[in-house]
Structure 1
Amino acid sequence: MKKAVMFWRNIKIGWKFSFSVMMCILLFAISMMVTFAQLSRVDGHISEMDKLSTSASTITEMGSIFRSMDIAIADYIINPTDENKENYLEKRKKLLDAGDKSKKEFNDPEETALYLKMIQNDKMLNDLFYITIMPAVEQNNSQTLSQARERANVLRDETITALYELRDLKNKERTDAAEDSRSSMEQIAFTLLLALVVSIVLSAAITFVVQRMIIRHFNRVIRFSHEISAGNLAAQDLEYGGRDEIGQLTASQNELKSKMNNMVRQIKKASEELQVRSRELNKASGEVNEGSQHVSATMQELAAGSSAQSNASSDIASQMDDFSRQLEKANEEGAFMRKSSNEVMHLVSQGSVQMNSSSARMNDIMGVMNTSAAEVMNLDGKTKEIAALVTVIEQIAEQTNLLSLNAAIEAARVGEHGKGFAVVADEVRKLAVGVSASVSDITRIVEDFRNVSKNVAATLNSGQLRVKDSASSIKQTGESFEMITKSIRKLDEKIANVDDYLKTIAGGMVLVNRAAEEVAAVSEESAAGIEEVSASVHQSSENIREVAASSDRLKDLSDELSKLVGEFQV
């Protein structure tokens, strides 16, 4: 038991809370597993019900098939055709297939006996059909057919009765399975509710126990910390054998109390000795301070006046010198700015001229582009006229070819007298064919030329738009250059005025700077002697004051330290 307690105390607090959470999860998982197992049983019952329902439907279907077999036999007796015979065989095949499908579901001896009876009756009916009925039909033996028909009716009734009994057994099994499923569902609901209640109660109990154990030890540490903060260093050390966060905190608190106890004892001893030494030092520094105060006061007043005058003169001279250099530098910068503004003004003027020239050139280019586009459009119109003429020529060539053929026909009619005319007609026809070929080439060339002219026109239109945009941009840029030129001219005038002002101020500052240097030199000479005498007196007085102040402060600190140490119980 003790080992278990120590093992529990060595576990981290986070793992302790994790243990309680894992226990809750484990309990809920067990509840879910139990519920899942019972649900699996219910699923088995439902599957069994489906099988039984299917089996009952199959048995009912088998009864219907057996009736249709009897009807097929009756049809064959009335009308002995191959079609009726095939109908009987087809019905019997369906019956046997249905029986083979449901055979494996008949596990009870009574069900098996009923199934075998159905199979036996089917065999007897089949033998009756082939051995008795078919020969009797061929022989037209009505008496045998009547007896066979009665026997078939008996077999039909017995088989249907057996199948209905078998169906009732399956329906009973299905009813039992449904009752078992209902009972299982009620048991699942009760088990789930019980498992949920047990899981919640056990989880709450585990969490409460873990939380109570941790809070109890934390409260002990908190009470111990309050005693230390209240100054009770004689409190008994905490006891906790674990290595978790509480154990580490307990060890830290015990060690803190021990170190504070030792530190307070040493501080108390040093404080008592410090009080004695501070009283002696305070008394000696008071006596020395009274003697030096009179001499120091007089020298300080004299040195303060001389030093203030010297410092003021030096500051004035230094500031005037700095101001003079700044004015000189500002004058140089003003001249440089005036020169730079003139250069910028020149460059801007050149840029404005070039922008005006570029704008004029862009206008010329735009005019050339417009003229070229118009010429190309005119050329496209001329090309259309050429194409029209070529079409006319092609029509003339076709008419000429037709006339030459007519002439050749007429020459052939004339006979020997028309041979010369036939030769001329043949030459005319050849000429018409050549003209047609040339017209085709001309048409192709004209079409290619029109395509090229269209592309050139499109390119010129695109270039015209771009040139127009460029001209607009150059115009805007030229206007911007004009505004920049006006602004730079105004800026140049202002810079010239500032440069003149700076030159005037620089001339006056030279005289002021000389006067300030002379005043500073006289003040420094008069203050030098006083400073040398006052320095030693002032230094001695300051040292004595510091010693006295330190002595008073040391005495106050020693009293305060003794008071603070007295609050601790060691």
Structure 2
Amino acid sequence: MIKLKLKTKLLLVFSIMVFLSIATVGLNLITYKSLDSDAVFVNSAGKLRANSYRMAYLSERIIIGGIDQQTESKELLERVAFFDNLIKSLINGDEALGLKKLEQPEMLEKLQAIEGKWSNQYKTAYEMIARDGNKQGLTSIEDSVDSFVAEVDQLVGAYSALSQSKVTNAKVISELMLLITVFFGIFGVIMVRAQVIRPIERLSMEMKGISSGDGDLTTLIKIVRQDELGELILHFNNFLASIREIVIKISKSSYVLSNSMQGISGTSYELSKSTEMIANAVMEVSNGSVEQTEMIGSLNALVEQMNDDVGKVLDKAEKLLQGSASSKASAGEGNQLLELQSRDLTKVVSSLADANTSVKRLEGYSNDIKGILEIINNISSQTNLLALNAAIEAARAGESGRGFAVVAGEIRKLAEGTSQATVQISEIINNITGQTVMVRDNMAQMAESIESQSQSMDVVMSKLNEIVNKAETTYTDAKEIESINLVVKDQFGTIANSASKISEVVTNNSSNTQNVAAAVQEQTASFEEVSANMSALNDLSSDLKLVVGRFKI
């Protein structure tokens, strides 16, 4: 006989139930889907019947010749096309209409017979009526339309009966599957009751008997199953064996513990006394550490103050260095500007000397022009006298000397104009000579002033050179001061860090000594508490021996 695990049994029952449920649902879905297609077929076949009567009515209206004969003819042709497509869809199937291909031979034979009559008789007659108004076609239609519709009704009835048989078969299968499911459900409940619930109840009773007994650890539960419950009993028996070993060890240890408690109690009393002495010594050290902490704090504050002062000095030195550099640069720039100005003054002095020479030459030229003007003036005076004498002689000559008198008059006028021009030129030359003398005197004064200014600029350049040299020295000294201050600041920073670390160490030492003192006091209290606990532990050891004695091992 195959022995199955509880898990396997439960999974088997559950799987069978799930399979039966899925099978039932699947069969129902298949049946419902088939019925849905049957309903579409029946509705479509019903449309064949309705369209047959409608086409017969429209044919009669067309033959009679109604008002809307053209509209009715168009509608008749549309219904003929619709009827033709629908009957073909019923035979071959149409996904758009939800129709499947007809597979029942009996139904297919009837539908093909209807399709044959339609194609051979009715379709042609309706088309002739719609196009030509043929009365002969109407007569054949009216005589046989009822039998044609009856065949369609017979087809619909037969297909409805077939569909109903499918429903009946589906109901029978569903009821059968339900009975099978109920049977397996009852079987599963009985199996779970017999294979799971009752063994668990028996195991619970046996465990309850062991737990409520007199501490007999030698009683084990008998293993009669090879499933999960058998494994559970095996693990429980192993657990009892482990508990039995633990109780044996506790029983042995309780005797050793009882003897050890007495020795530990005496030792803890001596340690308590020693710890109290250590606490007093630590308190004295803690007080000294507090004083050291205060002194280190003062030293640290002083060092920090000196460090701040050195920082301020360093800032001043840096500003001095910047000022020296600026002064040095400004003095250098001023010296360069003075050199440029001195060069320009030298050029101006040279230009003034050249101008003075030119003025002297101009003065000489003016004197020469004055001499020439005197000569011209004398010539014009003599010319005037000659013209006057010529006029007198012409007057004496009478009529023959008149032309010469005119020439003599013109010469006299020219001589007078020349005399006046020489006077004006002489005045201009005198003015030029006076202005030239003034320019020469001013240029001489300017040359003296420029020479004095050049000498002053040489003195200023000398002083500026001294300033530049001193600024260079000041810059170098300020740089050395800054370097020294940086070194001093770094050293004070090191001193401040060292003082801070010393302060931290002293503070930590003070805190540690206080903590040690507190710890020693706590340890003293702990030793006293340990002593009390030892007494309580001794009592517990006695109780433990009594408890362990209750177990049967």
Normalising to structure 2: TM-score of the pair? 0.40
Pick the structure with greater CA Rg.
2
